[in-house]
């Protein structure tokens, strides 16, 4: 009996079952103590959900009828938006309230909403986190103890808290790590497609994925560019339709209601914090810092050094993962709203996932761990 519980006997299938069970248990516990319907919709989540509802029921991204009760005159509408949704929506080219955030997640999860209503969005979130953990297991050595490390980090990081959520940050991380996996497997077109979708999900995916691009063979770039172009073209066309210009997004037309009317603000201007101070906060803040909220992750520099010394671990893979972590930390450190997270720092999920792969790769057994390269083991 005890032998069956040994980490090395943790199969990939058992790993996925445990991931799914842990999410359902966490979500169930939250539902049991919830005091309002759809309690998983917190922070920005209600606006993503409203966009999904609008796409399904109205066929558009005009959220006015989702955000404002019917029958209000223009003055009352402005007052209601100011009191209930100020800074949480964008203004379209036709001067209608629309989604400030990327509409990619509502678009991708629309089938879940069509089948199960609002609860389908929670199911979609569980599916994304399950796929992410499966991908991290595939990116790690094919050993039970490595999967056990990933499970331990799922339980001791903010990832499990976002199981009861509707999270674009989980989706972004899945797309980023999927692009890494496809590059290592030499699936160049799909890698580009996933990278393009990641940029559509959140624009700061560009610097996060830059190390992956630079460490890929230049001769393979055309295929990846073709894949990325499909996703980015769809993004640009939708932005053109919604905001009147392909390079204008909801973040460029974030709306604030004043006594004079609606004032537009550029969300991309909110990167004003000193980088050194920002990095210190990202690591040590009691509420969202990585040290108190994801202590095992903070061992990633040691893990990177251990796997770099291994003769069988692909050096390019280490550089990609370390580069992603450094880029993610650097881009979020100056962000004015660096702590705008409900549970831990969701903006650092790509860095968290990359660190998890490094830590899983650094595991040693009773004999030296056989950390295999993707081409040798097919484990990526």
Question: Going along 47-112, which residue ranges are E strands?
Answer: 89-91, 97-99
Mean pLDDT by 10 residues, the chain (380 residues): 57 96 94 91 94 96 91 82 87 91 97 97 97 97 93 95 96 98 97 98 97 96 97 97 94 84 78 94 95 96 93 89 98 93 92 97 56 40
Which whole-number Å values give the CA distances from 372 to 140, 344, 377, in the listed order? 9, 32, 6
Give Cβ neighbours of residue 64 (< 8 Å, ≥ 6 apart).
77, 96, 97
- Cα radius of gyration rounded to whole Å, the chain: 21
Q: Report the alpha-carbon distance of residue 213 to residue 211 in Å, rounded.
A: 5
Q: How many CB atoms lie within 10 A of CB 330?
A: 15
Q: Where does 59-191 show beta strands of DSSP type E?
A: 89-91, 97-99
Alpha-carbon distances, residue 75 vs 68, 98, 163, 258, 373 (angstroms): 12, 18, 39, 12, 63
Which sequence spans correspond to the domains of the chain? 3-167+250-377
- Name which of 253, 246, 287, 289 is nearest 268 in CA terms: 253
* Closest alpha carbon to 378 in 179, 131, 186: 186
Q: What is the pTM of this model?
A: 0.92
**Residues 86-139: tens digit of each pLDDT:** 888 999 999 889 999 999 999 999 999 999 999 999 999 999 999 999 999 999
Closest by alpha carbon to 111, among 120, 103, 99, 102? 120
pLDDT in tens, 319-343: 999 999 999 999 999 999 999 888 8
Look at residue 316 in the predicted model and tell me its pLDDT: 94
């Amino acid at each position: 009996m005890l032998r069956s519980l040994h980490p090395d006997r943790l199969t990939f299938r058992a790993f996925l079952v445990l991931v799914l069970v842990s999410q359902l248990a966490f979500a169930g516990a939250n539902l049991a103590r919830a005091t309002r319907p759809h309690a998983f919709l917190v922070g920005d989540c209600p606006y993503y959900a409203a966009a999904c509802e609008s796409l399904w029921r109205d066929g558009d991204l005009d959220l006015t009828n989702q955000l404002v009760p019917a029958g209000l005159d223009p003055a009352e509408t402005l007052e209601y938006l100011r009191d209930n949704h100020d800074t949480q929506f964008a203004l379209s080219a036709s001067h209608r309230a629309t989604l400030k955030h990327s509409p990619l997640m509502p678009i991708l999860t629309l089938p879940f909403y069509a089948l199960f209503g609002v609860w389908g969005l929670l199911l979609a979130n569980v599916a994304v986190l399950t796929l992410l953990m499966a991908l991290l297991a595939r990116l790690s050595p094919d050993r039970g103890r490595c999967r056990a490390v990933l499970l331990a980090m799922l339980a001791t990081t903010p990832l499990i808290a976002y199981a009861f959520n509707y999270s674009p940050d989980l989706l972004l991380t899945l797309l980023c790590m999927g692009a890494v996996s496809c590059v290592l497997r030499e699936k160049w077109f799909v890698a580009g497609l996933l990278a393009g979708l990641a940029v559509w999900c959140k624009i700061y995916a560009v610097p996060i994925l830059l190390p992956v691009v630079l460490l890929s063979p230049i001769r393979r770039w055309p295929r990846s560019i073709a894949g990325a172009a499909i996703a980015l073209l769809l993004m640009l066309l939708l932005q053109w339709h919604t905001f009147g210009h392909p390079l204008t997004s909801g973040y460029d037309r974030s709306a604030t209601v004043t006594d004079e009317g609606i004032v537009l603000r550029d969300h991309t201007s909110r990167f004003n914090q000193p980088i050194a101070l920002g990095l210190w906060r990202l690591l040590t803040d009691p509420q969202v810092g990585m040290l108190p909220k994801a202590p095992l992750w903070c061992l990633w520099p040691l893990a990177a050094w251990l796997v770099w010394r291994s003769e069988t671990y692909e050096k390019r893979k280490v550089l990609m993962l370390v580069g992603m972590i450094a880029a993610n930390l650097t881009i979020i450190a100056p962000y004015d709203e660096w702590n705008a997270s409900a549970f831990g720092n969701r903006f650092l999920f790509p860095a968290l996932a990359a660190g998890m792969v490094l830590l899983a790769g650094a595991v040693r057994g009773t004999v030296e761990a056989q950390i295999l390269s993707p081409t040798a083991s097919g484990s990526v």
